[in-house]
Structure 1
Amino acid sequence: MLAIDALAQPSIVQAAPATGQTPPIGQGPATAPDAPAVLPEVVVTGSRRPKSLEGAQALDELSEGRISTYGAGSINEVIERLQQQQGGREFSIIVNGRRIGSLADLGELPAEALKGIEIYTPADAKRFGFSADKRLLNLTLKRDFRSLSLEDEVRAATEGAGTVVQGELRGVVLNGDRRLNGFARAQADEGLLARQRPGAANGDQPVPPGQSLLPRRQSYYATLGAGRPLGAGNLDLGLRGARTQNLRQTNGTTQQESLGGSSSINASYNNTVAGFQVTAIADVGRSDSRSRILAGDAAAGCTQCRLAQDLRTATINAGLTARAGGTVATLPAGEMRIDLSAQRNRARTTATDRLNDTVLRTGYATTSAQANVSLPIVAGSTPVLGFLGTVELMPSIDYNAIDGRGHVIGTNVSLSWRPSSALFVNASISRRGSLPSNEQINAPVQTLIGFTVYDYRAGALVPIEQITGGAPLAPQASLGINVSANYDRTIGKVQLNGNLGFSRDAVERPTVSLTEPSAFAERYFPDRFRRDAAGRLVSVDVRPFNAVRQVEESVTTALNLSGGGRGESTLNWNIGIQGQRQLRRSLRLGPDIPVIDTLTNPLSISTGVQGRQRWSGQLGLRTRRFGGNVSVSRSGGIRSTSVADPTNGVDVAPLVRVDGNLLMTLQSPGAAGGGGGRGGRWGGYRLELSIRNLTNARPRIRASARSTGRDRPSSIPGCSIRWAAPWRCRCAYRSAGEPTPDVPDPALPAVDHLR
């Protein structure tokens, strides 16, 4: 049987005879029944392009076989691979040519459920009400697909730390526009104690061996999704639930147990009414948490423990969103489009202090609305100015309010210019207001143990307690300027993508938190840091507050090349390099406090150090059977000087990190079982080996004083090399499974540095 896979192409029909009648395929003309022509059976499978995408030219199209070379286990992971290949830029996403309420449920579908992927320009994203600064990704699902897969993964470290075990179960049934899918994940993490990191010290004293550096953790997550046509539109439903348990201890005498859970249900309906795309979304959810601290001998089962903290928090929230967008007028330069949205959310939080028998109830309700207009100014057919290409103006206004706390109004004006099909330039200026969240305002005050921060007085990492909770915060106001240029071109079989961008963001009343002490912070905020009689740091109050002003400026650049064949057996590859340089980052914490240059004096040494420059690069090679990826990242070092005493400082060395993974398919999908029936095809088996931090890179801090020559190096305790060799197996009626490569984000300067 000859199969032709055609995308948005007409069916192939044999020429009709002179009589004008079209004979069945495989038979000769009706005028010669005694000598029929022997022709192979031709089956044409085509995916009709949605009307909303008619006239749009895709930048790239990924077939089912090409998608399989990405080695992804879910649709979410396919999108992550594409983002990495495209320089880390995010996409606007539609499914089967329509905008959906949420990708949360669909993203967990197996990658094999995809029939194809099309990538369109940011200009095409506006047809669906998206902004014009992100490219559009159209995910086309198979019409008839069933799959059930089981994935298991084990991770360990070469230098201490506990084993992480994770299992996933994923199933889906697709029948036309009807969908039913489920996903479940369970994970257990043994945590990390100080005896597994001998270098941790509290000043000159070693950290007690029973001190938790990372908690023991168990987590569970499940989601159930469904979709079906309803009238002329489509209804999508999602049900999600999660549960986590963390356990920390301090030298085996004090332990903290944190329990948390959440559940939610959401429904979205999409339809086209009088040429407008209309979406309605409703969601209801509940979350709860409990934090208990027991003081006593944990090794003895805590039979003599006393309860030092017992807090419970429960929040019920509900929301309703309506969105509509479409063409309202046809101008000489193109179609004028307007997009409107409105949202209402309510939350009710109950915090119970079981130790002191007190109950606090708080409410939180917000209203928001937004209007965007796409106004074409110049087109290629415009007289005189047509040589400029396409120019479009996109103004917008948004309104946000919290009941009883006031409101903010923001505006944004964006100008897009496309001088050619390959080059796209976008510039925008925005004045926006940001309201504090329910958690930032109403979270109960509580103490958390087992955190490690850098203490400038000790010149080392020290374990402390954190005081967390909500605070009365004012709205933020920001002025942002963004300019970006993107270049996309296909040269032969090579896809070239490059981008260059500049951004400046000035925020009035920014929300900040002090996570560790410095001579500067402790001088102006002494009540945030508590020390014992010997001067050792005991606790840090990390509750948020409003500073005065924060300014950030940066330049980003990226260049990516990708190529290969369109089939599943050919080699696909990608090479990419991305860079960011911070031009400015300053913060004024209070009206009478000097401005801090947080590039040279970060508020947090162990978590906030980024350096002025960050570079990363990736190389990926993939076929249906073999695949590999290598990523390298480098963040620049800094010297942080004390504002109170410029002769003292802290040096943080540059961080170079190398990560890689190899994967091999031991059995191709459909190779076992045979039979060809719906129940006779089984999935494949794949082995994956991932190594993180191959160069043993970890943030290294050296405290020094120029006058005394003091030189005390301190290495943030963390694992150097990880391996992950998961086996994965999928049983599928129509498709088989692929594993999930463990690719870290190379843009982060110190990922999981405590492991």
Structure 2
Amino acid sequence: MRRFGSAALALLMTTAAPAAMAAGQSDAPVGTETPRQDDAGAPGVDPMGDDIEEVVITGGPLRGAVPGDIKPELTLNPADIRAYGVGSLAELLTELEPQTRSGRGRDGGAPVLLLSGRRISSFGEIRDIPPEAIERVEILPEEAALKLGYRADQRVVNIVLRRRFRSITAELDGTVATAGGRDGQDVELSMLRLNPDGRVNLDVEYERDSSLLESERDIIQDPANSRTDGEYRTLQPDRQSLTANAVLSRTIGKVAATANLRMEQSWSDSLLGLPIAGGTDPLRRSSDSNTLHGGISLNGDISPKWRWSATGNWDRVESRTLTDRDTGLTDWARSISNVASVDALVNGAVADLPAGAISTSLRVAGRTSGLTSESRRDGLFADTDIGRDSGSVRANLDLPIASRSKAVLSALGNLSLNANGEVEQLSDFGTLVTYGYGANWSPIDGVRLIASFTEEEGAPSAQQLGNPRVETPNVRVFDFVRGETVDINRIDGGNPGLGADNRSVMKLGANLRPFDADLTLNVDYTKSTIRNPIASFPTATAEIEAAFPDRFVRDGDGQLIQIDNRPVNFERSEREQIRWGLNFSAPISSPLARAAMEAAQARRAERAAAREASEGQPDREGARPGAGERPGGPRFGGGRGPGRGGFGGRGGGAAGGRFQFGIYHTIALTDRVEIRDGLPALDLLNGSATGSRGGSPRHQVELRTGVVRDGIGVRLNADWQSATRVSGGTTGGETLRFDDFATVNLRLFANLGPQFKFVRDNRWLTGTRLVVSVDNLFDNRLKVTDASGATPLSYQPALLDPVGRTVRISVRKLFF
């Protein structure tokens, strides 16, 4: 293991410079091709261990591309995807999160996901797809979502699969915390079949993580509290989950139909400390949930210029919670949520202008949801039954103004304007209206500028309104008013008094490709103003308690004993930021890969010559002129996508390696919250906080880099944020400093497929990948200190990050 780690780290250091030098080199000469079968008879395995998909380049749009004039900011080809060393599409999207996050939407900026330019019913359709089955991944800006009937507050990620692929994948993971006390296991079995008529995907996964006690992290207990004992309080509960997911997709006539069924059962158990009355039996909480999801999507074409799609989803979630109380009773809560939705979209070109076609989309959606909950607390029974029905109509319009290729106002470059609007009717909130407009301008090649403006109204979710009331005893918090750590009773659940919010968002963005290389630069300025924002109850600072005195309960001595943590509406919030990012990718040549390709070509030529001699006629496949030329253009081995991608479009599937580097820097200019009218605003950049980990950092940096060569690779992910502080306010309470904080994750992986001689001698190793990953490599934890330099008990590093550094070993076997 030490030799493997040293070799991988040395590889990262020594190949960065050659990678940059190789940026202008192709991985394989045009016209070469990789055979569909090697001497051992393993079909569809290329020198890098991936299934090979032949790609024919034509002059039209790429297969599976997103329609419209907004081009991808980044494109990943098979070599790029392979360099991440991940085991599923879900893991790949986690790695790409800095590139795909928008930061503008109410759902945290998660992207819109497409499959070959078409809509899907839900993430469950594609989450378990192995990366070997992916031909390319495209990341587009938020404005591309408008053409698909979505709001302009999410980026678009388009996944294009190979035409044919088949595999059975088995993966076994083991995780352990280096400080002890916590371990986990993960077993997954998956099957995928792809062909031009559709796909079948089955996946079963079991996960378990053991509990972690405070005594296993040497937590300092409050000497004044006799109930605190680290052996009877869990930092992390014992968790288990079992998931089964099935996807069936078929082409029925001219309609692509997909059905998805997902079932998940999860359990968790935790200890909450000793009861007030004393005793050796700790208070416990047990929770379990059952989730059932069904989805269907239909996609078709009305004409060459018009597409339609329809999706439907149904989700049922049943959850139960049992909580021991000091009184000797057991509280319980149970809730059942049912949500069903249908969504239909038609989009295409309505008319042709000199600068291009006017494109539009019309989307109609309906949704019904219901939440029933019941609970017993201190022997008192309560129940809730709420429901909501909604319907919406949304229209988008894209108007081309100038075009270089069509010689229309070519001095302006390429310019288009867009507008969108939505009306939504809710049974319990009335009518909500959303509208927006923007421009997409490319004054010269390699430069694209985007501006967009959105006004949106949004209602709280059924869970935010009606989740059952749950009380958790012995929750450790820091009381900023008295400057002490206390154990309180925390109330969670829904708040039926929540109101709708209203968002105004402006974005100005630029995407640059300054050189003829796989290098992109993105710069975005975003300003968001939310009136009546809905938020989880913030940290119990003196400012928050002054604004919500009814949410805090103190005893006769003034000690804090209870906090009502249910969500609230603030008066107003405003955030302004600049985010820039740079992405670079370059191929790395490899003698091993080239030698393997030459050997494969030689074997192919020998077989062609043998067939020609036996049949007495030229072999079309082995003797065609040009070795790789087709009527549609040149052919590349290894499933390489044509054209140049933002993350390495030059490389083919037979590449020896790949170097990648990406960095994103977010600069917060303004982050303010007005809690209630007439109260001072909270400046989260200068002494105020709404979260438990301090205020908002002024700077955040995300680094993603890695290198792979001949199947052996290393990935390094690092995140850093600047220091913050939380002031005691005008009441003279305690002021805390939250130091700057950085985490580094390292992953080493080895795909054994490229090691040809070794694999030929051990055929059972074909398709095997070994991974050793270390999360929080330097075991870093957030440091919090008061004015004297001491750390409050509730902010002990092991409380903020109980697990610390973890090591995961994964063995993955792909059966082609």
Same fold at TM > 0.5: yes
Give CA deviations for 1:437-456 in whole Å, capped at 9, x if unaligned: 11111212221356443332
Find 1:76's aligned residue among 73, 90, 101. 90
Q: 1:455 to 1:161 in 2, by over 3 A?
A: farther
Given candidates 223, 234, 238, the residue that maps to 1:216 is: 238
1:269 correspondence with 2:269:
no
Give the direction of change, closer, same or farther, for the CA distance of 1:117–1:350 in structure 2 (3 Å limit).
Answer: closer
- Residues 121-270 of structure 1 mapped to structure 2, 5 A cutoff: 138-202=158-222, 207-209=228-230, 210-251=232-273, 252-270=281-299
1:580-595 alignment to 2 at 5 Å? 580-595=666-681
Matched, 1:663 2:752: no
**1:359 and 1:646 mapped to 2: Cα distance?**
42
Question: In the alignment, does 2:509 pair up with 1:484?
Answer: yes
2:354 maps to what in 1?
A: 332
Structure 2 stretches lacking a partner, 5+ long? 1-27, 34-52, 103-108, 274-280, 589-650
Taking a change above 3 Å as real, the CA distance of residues 310 and 598 of structure 1, as seen in their structure-2 partners, is: same
Structure 1 counterpart of 2:163, which letter? R
Contact 1:690 1:722 in 2 (8 A): no
Aligned to 2:323, which of 283, 293, 310? 293
Q: CA deviation at 1:292?
A: 1.0
Q: How many Å separate the matches in 2 of 1:73 and 1:429?
A: 38
**CA distance 1:81–1:212, shift in 2 (3 Å):** closer
**Could you tell me which residue of structure 2 aligns to residue 25 of structure 1?**
none
Tell me the SS of whatever aligns to 1:420.
coil
Amino acid at match of 2:540: P
Give distance in 2, aligned partners of 1:613 and 1:60. Answer: 24
Asked if structure 2 preserves the Cα contact closer than 8 Å seen for 1:6 and 1:45, the reply is no
Give the direction of change, closer, same or farther, for the CA distance of 1:356–1:205 in structure 2 (3 Å limit). Answer: closer
In proportion to residue count, which structure has more helix?
A: 2
Aligned runs of 1:364-443 on 2, under 5 Å? 364-380=388-404, 385-443=409-467
Taking only the aligned residue pairs, the percentage that are identical comes to 23
Q: How does 1:251-650 map to 2 (within 5 A)?
A: 251=273, 252-274=281-303, 275-295=305-325, 306-353=328-375, 356-380=380-404, 385-449=409-473, 451-457=475-481, 459=483, 462-471=486-495, 472-488=497-513, 491=516, 494-532=517-555, 535-565=558-588, 566=651, 567-604=653-690, 606-645=692-731, 648-650=734-736
Q: Measure the CA separation in 2 of the matches of 1:460 and 1:631.
A: 36
> Secondary structure, in 3 states, of the residue corresponding to 2:329?
strand
Q: Which residue in 1 is equivalent to 2:769?
A: 686
In the alignment, the residues of structure 2 paired with residue 484 and residue 55 of structure 1 have an alpha-carbon distance, to the nearest angstrom, of 18
1:669–1:684 contact (8 Å) kept in structure 2: no
Q: Say which SS state the counterpart of residue 124 (structure 2) adopts.
A: coil
Q: Which has the higher contact order (CA 8 A, sep 6+)?
A: 2
| Range with greater deviation from structure 2 (129-138 or 662-671) | 129-138
SS of the aligned residue for 2:428 comes to coil
Equivalent residue pairs, number: 679
| 2:786 is equivalent to residue 703 of structure 1 | yes
Report the Cα offset of residue 462 of structure 1. 4.7
What letter matches 2:400 in structure 1? Answer: P
Give me the whole-angstrom Cα distance separating, in 2, the residues matched to 1:86 and 1:446. Answer: 35
Report which stretch shifted further, 274-283 or 444-453.
444-453
Deviations 1:360-413 (A, max 9, x none): 322111222211100112222677842121111111111223203211112101
Q: Using the alignment, how far apart are the partners of 2:74 and 2:790 within structure 1?
A: 55
Q: Give deviations 1:191-233, integer Å, cap 9, x for gaps.
A: 2222123234448659421122222211222211010001212
2:121 to 101, 121, 130: 101
| SS of alignment partner, residue 591 of structure 1 | coil
Unmatched 5+ stretches in structure 1: 10-42, 297-304, 735-755
1:290 deviates by 0.8
Q: Does the residue aligned with 1:575 lie in a helix, a strand or coil?
A: strand
User: Residues 359 and 645 (structure 1 numbering): CA distance in 2 closer, same or farther, change over 3 Å?
Assistant: closer
Distance 1:604 1:551, change over 3 A: closer
Q: How does 1:711-750 map to 2 (within 5 A)?
A: 712=791, 714-717=795-798, 718-719=801-802, 721-732=804-815, 734=816
TM-score scaled by structure 2?
0.76
CA distance in 2, matches of 1:129, 1:317: 21
Mapped contact 1:568–1:624 kept (Cα < 8 A): no
CA contact (8 A) 1:456 1:518 kept: yes
Judged with a 3 Å threshold, the aligned counterparts in structure 2 of structure 1 residues 620 and 334 are, in CA distance, closer, same or farther, namely same
Structure with a larger share of its residues in strand: 1
Q: 2: CA distance between counterparts of 1:334 and 1:572?
A: 38
| TM-score normalized with structure 1 length | 0.82
**Cα distance between partner residues in 1 of 2:695 and 2:391:** 37
Do the aligned residues in 2 keep the contact of 1:249 with 1:449 (CA within 8 Å)? no
SS in 1 for 2:680: coil
Shift in Å, 1:458: 6.1
Task: Report the 3-state secondary structure (helix = DSSP H, G, I; strand = E; otherwise coil) of the residue aligned with 1:312.
Answer: strand
